[in-house]
Amino acid sequence: MKKELNIILIIVVISLWGTVAYKYFKNYFFASTIESENIVANNYQNLEIVRDTIAFQYLDRDPFLATPSPSIAEGKNNNSIVKPKYKNAVVNPVQQEIIPMPEIIYYGYIKSGTKEFALLKVNETLLRLQKQQVKNNIRVKSFSKNDLIIIFGGQEYTFAKN
């Protein structure tokens, strides 16, 4: 039984591959030649291009509100240029106050339960800050055993452990 089934399956697979090979190779080896006498050259100079044109008209009413449009009701020309009702204002740039960088000394970090705190001295004041905490315009971005990264005035600074 198994042997007969295997023979039938092998015959089916060979016939399928034979069909695929025939379809592929028939264009190369069995292609019929096209006779050039039967092809008539088209004369493209005599072709006329017919274009469909549409005439646009202004609508007498607003199609969505079913009311007369304001420009037609008032008799205004739709091609008029609308001038702005405001004048160009001169904006004086505001000078930002420059805050001097404070003196910062990093002493390391401590771990209390699940919380970690960075110990640093800012202008002779000892601070204990967590990550992303802001104090005196100083944001602690990250810290590790050996260094501290802070953001002050939009700039990033790195301090080594003292």
Per-residue pLDDT of the chain (162 residues), as tens digits, is 889 999 999 999 999 999 999 888 887 776 555 555 555 555 556 667 777 788 877 767 777 776 665 655 455 555 556 666 666 666 777 777 777 888 989 999 898 888 999 998 988 899 899 898 898 888 999 998 889 999 988 889 998 887
CA end-to-end span of the chain: 86
Edge-first strand order for the sheet with 104-112 is 104-112, 115-122, 125-129
| Exposure of 152 in the CB half-sphere (CA atoms within 13 A) | 17
Domains annotated on the chain, with CATH: 104-160 (2.30.30.830)
142's CB contacts (< 8 A; 6+ apart) are 131, 148, 149
**68 DSSP assignment:** B
